[in-house]
Structures are given as structure tokens and as C-alpha cells.
Amino acid sequence: MNIESLEVYIVDLPTIRPHQLAMHTIVMQTIILVCVKGEGDLEGWGEVATIGGASYFEETPEAIKVNIEKYIAPHVIGKNPAHFDAIAYTVNQHVVGNRFAKAAVEAAVVDLAARSRGIPAYELFGGQIHTSLPIAWTLASGDTRRDIEEAQESLNAKRHNIFKLKIGVGDPKRNVAHVLAIKEAVGEAASIRVDVNQAWDEVTALYCIEALQDGGVDLIEQPLISWNKEGMARLTSKFNVPIMADESLSSIEQAFQVAKKRAGNVFAIKPAKAGGLTAAKKVAAIAEAAGIGLYGGTMIESSLGTAIAAQLYSTIPEMKYGTELFGPLLFTDTITANAIVYENFQIVVPSGPGFGMEMDKEKIFHYARDL
Ligand SMILES: [Mg+2]
């Protein structure tokens, strides 16, 4: 069976509350969906999410759509979806960069390949090791008391016991005090982590990380700007609390550089950043070889993109720092007929054919941009 057509949709999904990062506050999240069709109307679907247009990474939703349609699709149509690595090799020979675009297409091709055999996609990546994975939640109201209440409600409901705070906006000292008050309130019942989204300079990072480490915070994500690998390396060697590379870790080559310079001792892995599922597994292999821990990151995907990441992470032996695949919980609506299941502080890895999600076409067309 060969791929007969490829279509791309830009879809804007509203969120249940503003989600604040250092570079952008999300109230409407933009995802890109790719649909490839094989024989007999068999379909494969892929997704990547972007944050704030061009504010998080270079690839915008509009550029992703155009570059897939004009430059990637001609190397995909007519090919056998079972050969997804060979297709990616050909695409890479003709298209540099554009890792989000490549990841969306590869996921759709893998979904089609798996569905054509009636098996879950993780079977094509060596099989499932984990049936569920730990799941972090981001506390982002900005109000200390409300965040503590939200954390305690979540602990009582057995939904999350890992909480991340985005602290790249505002006064660093006040933000640190906010985080430490939350840690003191939840105590050992929860892991508290921070994501700075590149917002600090090295001097600010030195005193903030020291205070956070002393207060029992478990993980410091991307304190410095993405290019400052030497600074990240100095912080990693100075503190006992783990330093995680996210924005500074994109391609396979970047992963090697971060590992070589020890510019972080945890990798935030994401299929879109790496350029696809196969590429993300290669990033995981670099981490394994370097003795670096793994964290299953999110670009805040909808249920489909979350299923794609969850299925891939389920094939990686050790996700020492868990995952943050909470995307579907942040949206007011869904584009799939079935939902991602969260229970017992874990995300349950979907296991139907392909990535295990059934697309709701009416919803997709309702939220899709009319381009
Ligand atoms: Mg991050």
C-alpha cells in the first residue's frame, strides 16, 4: 500500500485558562494536523503543536503548513508508509531543518503504517515497556494560595503529584518565594519543579537556584538562554539539584553537544523538537549513553499529539523524571472521539490501532483555519 494524498490543517484550540510562559501566554493553542491517505480511504494522522507563533521556536504554524505541502509532501506521496525511516532519509536529503514539519508528517505516516496492519504504533518502535507514565501538572495561577489549593485538590484526586511552576516572568526573588511557599505547603507529598524558559542571566540563576535547592525543589528547567551551553554546564556542575535542558536541546546534533558539554543532567525530550519519533529515540539513546536522565516533555499538544508522544515514551526503558503530557487537560474541547485517560498520577498509554485515537472530523473542521 502506498500513500495517495497528504493534507495539512492549522487548528486553534481554546484553553481553560491562560497558560503563561516567559515568552508567551497561551489562551488559544495552535496545532498542525497532517492526514495521509492510503488505499480504501485508510487514514493516518499526525500532530505537532507550536507555542506563540514564532516566539518559542522558529517554525510558525503557517510556515509548517506551506513547507509540508510544497517541499515535503512530494517526497512522501507514492511511498510505502511502512518505510517511514527511508521516507525521512529522503526528506532530509531535500529539506534542511523544519523539524516540526517533519515530525508531523512522520507521525501521520507511522499512524497509517500501524493502522494498515491493525497494530499500535509502538509495535513499530520495538514494543511497549510502560503501559502508563507519571504525569506532571503546571501550576500557573500566579497566586500562591490558589496554586497550593490546586495542588492539594490534585493530590487528593490522585491526578498529579509532580508540579511544575513557570517562573520566567516577573521578579525572580518573588517567584522563588512563591515556589518555596508551595513546596513548604505540600511537603514530601509532591515533587515541585520550576521551568525558567531561558529567562535568567547566570548571576540571577546562581542565587535563585541556590535558594530553590535549599528549599527542596527537585528540578530546574532551562534557566539560561538556549545558546548558553557553557553557562548551563557551569550551573550543572555547581549544584546538586538537576538542571534540565529543554530549549537548548533540539536536534540530535544539539543533544550530542549538550551531553558532551554536560550542559544539563536531564533531557526534556519532545518528538517535534527532535524532528520526529525516530529522531527522538536517537536523542534518548544519546542520553542513555551519557548517563543523562529523561523527561517526557510537551509542546502542549491535543489528545492526538499527546498519544503520539505517550506511545513513543512508552518504548523508552527509563523515563526517570516522568512526563508532562497534560495538554488535553488544558483545552476546553477535543478533536478526537476518544479521550486520553489519566488515573493514579499517571497517563495511560493509548493502545488502539495506530496511535490509538479516533479523529472527530466535525471538530477538526470546526476549529480549523479557513486558509
Ligand atoms: Mg520547558
Q: Tens of pLDDT along 141-177?
A: 778 999 999 999 999 999 999 999 999 999 999 999 9
From the number of C-beta atoms within 10 Å of its C-beta (0-12, 13-18, 19+), residue 216 rates as: middle
Nine cell digits for residue 291: 548517563
371: pLDDT strictly greater than 70: no
pLDDT band at 62 (very low <50, low <70, confident <90, very high): very high
Average pLDDT for the chain: 96
Domains of the chain in sequence order: 5-123+359-367 (3.30.390.10), 126-348 (3.20.20.120)
The question of whether 70 is a catalytic residue gets the answer: no
SS3 5: strand
From the number of C-beta atoms within 10 Å of its C-beta (0-12, 13-18, 19+), residue 185 rates as: middle
Beta strands, E only, 69-187? 132-134, 137-139, 162-166
Nine cell digits for residue 124: 513499530
Q: What is the mean pLDDT of residues 252-271?
A: 97
Question: Rounded CA gap, 34 and 371, in Å?
Answer: 15
Phi, psi angles (nearest 5°) of residue 276: 140, 180
Q: How many residues are present in the chain?
A: 371
> How would you label 233-266 residue by residue, b for 16+ Cβ within 10 Å and e otherwise?
bbbbeebebbbbbbbbbbbbebbeebbeebbbbb
Q: How far is the CA of 195 from the centre of ligand 1 (A)?
A: 6
Which of 102, 164, 166, 229 is catalytic? The answer is 166
Q: How far is the CA of 231 from the centre of ligand 1 (A)?
A: 17
**Which residues are placed with Cβ below 5 angstroms of ligand 1, an ion?**
195, 246
Q: How far is the CA of 200 from the centre of ligand 1 (A)?
A: 14
What pLDDT does 362 receive? 96
pTM of the model: 0.96
